[in-house]
Structure 1
Amino acid sequence: MSKKPDYKPGEFQWSFLLPQYWGIWIGIVFLMILAILPWAIQHRLATVIGNIAFNQLKSRRKTAIRNLELCFPEWTSEQVQKNTRHVFVDQMIGIFETLNAWYCPQWFKGRVSIEGLEHLQKAQAEGKGVLLLGTHSTLLDAGGYLCAQYFEPDVVYRPQNNPLLDMLIYRCRATIYANQIDHDDMRGLIRHLKNGRAIWYSPDQDYGLKQGVMAPFFGIPAATVTAHRRLIKMTKAAAVPLYFYRDGDIKDPRYHVLLEPAVDNLPSADEIDDATRVNKIIENQLRIAPTQYMWFHRRFKTRPEGYDKIY
């Protein structure tokens, strides 16, 4: 669990110059060098590193395989193995894409398109905030950058345990997001929604049943968070599904942002029905680019009473 820093986010501390942080500084310089490499080299490196990760991170690989077996039963064993490998490669590609968004954003020029922007504009024209229901995509912050080409997104974030890393990531994200809202700052989140902001919020991970309900995800009971229902009820915000993905030839990729119509009657009187509807939206989105999702997370770790464990 991440620890909340005891300093202002993004604030430099002289202690960051101590020897204990030198390794991180060297790592950051190395990442900046990687960010200026030609895309052909970045892609090749990501493929090599992704394949190494697939082979070496056995626990994560096992989790991803199990998730794909359950969610895509129509796939053969060979297809599951192949696509699991692609998940790890796409994750590494996503890291390079994030580095490009932070340090070389001009690389995306002419590569980005959007569909459904009118759904967000309609809600904001009505004076509503917009809760963008997104996913944990392998594109990472590159997805936020894609959105920022068309509207001002805010994001909910979890502070890093390492204060220097937290400062550096916060500053890089500040070039993309208008506001970064600590996940513990519910008052700030509510305030921004009431002020008509569009906030990226991902309700697609398993945080247990203290924060959610069991609802089907790809037909499998999954602990599904319900906090967004309360936020929408308190702020009268619109819930607009958000998805972004890479498309086309990997040697010359294109990026697409998809905004869907606001979810009707959310929240309703039935929180399980609400969770089911949102999960179904996410399912349909993930089928567009299945390997560009963090399937190595244990999405089904919480099990209903009487059900066997999945992992």
Structure 2
Amino acid sequence: MSHQPEFKPGEFQWSFLLPQYWGIWIGIICLMMLAILPWALQFRLGQALGNVCFKALRSRRETTLRNLEVCFPEWSAAEVEANARQVFVDQMIGVFETLNAWYSPKWFQGRVTIEGLEYVEHAQAQNQGILFLGTHSTLLDAGGYLCAQYFEPDVVYRPQNNPLLDMLIYRCRATIYANQIDHDDMRGLVRKLKQGHAIWYSPDQDFGLKQGVMAPFFGVPAATVTAHRRLLKMTKAAAIPLYFYRHGDIKNPQYHVLIEAPVEHLPSEDEIDDATRVNQIIERQLRIAPTQYMWFHRRFKTRPDGYENIYK
């Protein structure tokens, strides 16, 4: 019986030189070239590509519109559509920001500020692990790079299906994150937290009720993951809200990392109360820069009996 060799994350395989991977290699070279373009061109390309995606990706567009309608009922229909379009623009601009973080990090010099770093320093002085409670931002890995200017973050990641793409992204992220932890490697995640590492974790997506509970998100019941409760209980790590966003003149953007005080009594004995408190933290963060969030995910896809469907 033959066995497939096991490869470590980020490890090169000679099979990556086969013709089936040539398209990806060409794409990566093109992306590297885009990373050295002046910001003015990157911004305009991001705008153009975002508008194209908004028109072309019908399902994602409809999901985004519906999410914004539900979460921001105070917005008019015109405001919902304008902000939904900006979500796609911010996502494509975020791709260029990530490319800059990977291949041209000097571009960020003089553009980054931070607030609340003392909370991280206090936890680290006590050799206490930190579980950052964050969101799926359109800044992507650029957000991790912003944080890495002030402390060493680890990240929980989901491996790519394509092995070459996974290797390339893993290697690019290795320039930003101290450690990359597979989302299925719970033992590794627990071990790093017990060792005092600071790990970026985003409990803001719908993975069903096998991994969570129903809790209000922008006033709407949503399946909310509870894995972080178990992690915090096992490791005694500090639960610290983390948010980063772009602000100011888009032609000369600035970036801000916002770190808030550790969440007290998390976990408590009430998992629904815990889920509600974490959702409230995320809500507060998203209101700072609403369009810099991946609203095209179906945040409300799980609807148990008695709950109305959010999406068509």
TM-score, normalised via structure 1 length: 0.98
Paired residue type of 1:241: P
User: Over residues 105-161 of structure 1, what are the superposed CA-to-partner deviations in whole Å (9 max), with x where a residue is unaligned?
Assistant: 000000000000111111121221000011000000000000000000000001100
Does residue 94 (structure 1) correspond to residue 94 (structure 2)? The answer is yes
Paired residue type of 1:202: S
**Aligned residue number for residue 290 of structure 1:** 290
Cα distance between partner residues in 2 of 1:114 and 1:171: 26
* Structure 1 segments (4+ residues) deviating >2 Å: none
Within 5 Å, which residues of 2 pair with 1:102-117?
A: 102-117=102-117
Does residue 271 (structure 1) correspond to residue 271 (structure 2)? The answer is yes
User: Over residues 55-96 of structure 1, what are the superposed CA-to-partner deviations in whole Å (9 max), with x where a residue is unaligned?
Assistant: 110100000000000100000000000000000000000000
**Aligned residue number for residue 205 of structure 1:** 205
Cα distance between partner residues in 2 of 1:20 and 1:55: 30
**Aligned residue number for residue 180 of structure 2:** 180
Q: How far apart are 1:306 and its partner, in Å?
A: 1.2
Cα distance between partner residues in 1 of 2:165 and 2:98: 15
Task: Please list every run of 5 or more consecutive structure 1 residues that lacks an aligned counterpart in the other structure.
Answer: none
**Aligned residue number for residue 68 of structure 1:** 68
**Aligned residue number for residue 54 of structure 2:** 54
Cα distance between partner residues in 1 of 2:6 and 2:262: 37
Cα distance between partner residues in 1 of 2:261 and 2:307: 35
Q: How far apart are 1:19 and its partner, in Å?
A: 0.1
Does residue 259 (structure 1) correspond to residue 246 (structure 2)? The answer is no
Cα distance between partner residues in 2 of 1:307 and 1:229: 25
Cα distance between partner residues in 2 of 1:98 and 1:177: 13
Contact 1:130 1:193 in 2 (8 A): yes
Paired residue type of 2:70: L
Does residue 246 (structure 1) correspond to residue 258 (structure 2)? The answer is no
Does residue 8 (structure 1) correspond to residue 8 (structure 2)? The answer is yes
**Aligned residue number for residue 194 of structure 1:** 194
Cα distance between partner residues in 2 of 1:127 and 1:199: 14
Structure 1, 114-123 or 99-108: larger mean CA deviation: 114-123
**Aligned residue number for residue 220 of structure 2:** 220
Paired residue type of 1:240: I
Cα distance between partner residues in 1 of 2:142 and 2:63: 25
Within 5 Å, which residues of 2 pair with 1:99-138?
A: 99-138=99-138
Cα distance between partner residues in 1 of 2:121 and 2:209: 34
Paired residue type of 2:74: E
Q: How far apart are 1:308 and its partner, in Å?
A: 1.7
Structure 1, 115-124 or 260-269: larger mean CA deviation: 115-124
Cα distance between partner residues in 2 of 1:118 and 1:212: 31
Provide the identity percentage.
Answer: 79
Paired residue type of 1:15: S
Contact 1:206 1:223 in 2 (8 A): yes
Paired residue type of 2:195: N
TM-score, normalised via structure 2 length: 0.98
Cα distance between partner residues in 1 of 2:307 and 2:177: 41
SS in 2 for 1:89: helix
Contact 1:214 1:304 in 2 (8 A): no
Paired residue type of 1:84: A
**Aligned residue number for residue 303 of structure 1:** 303
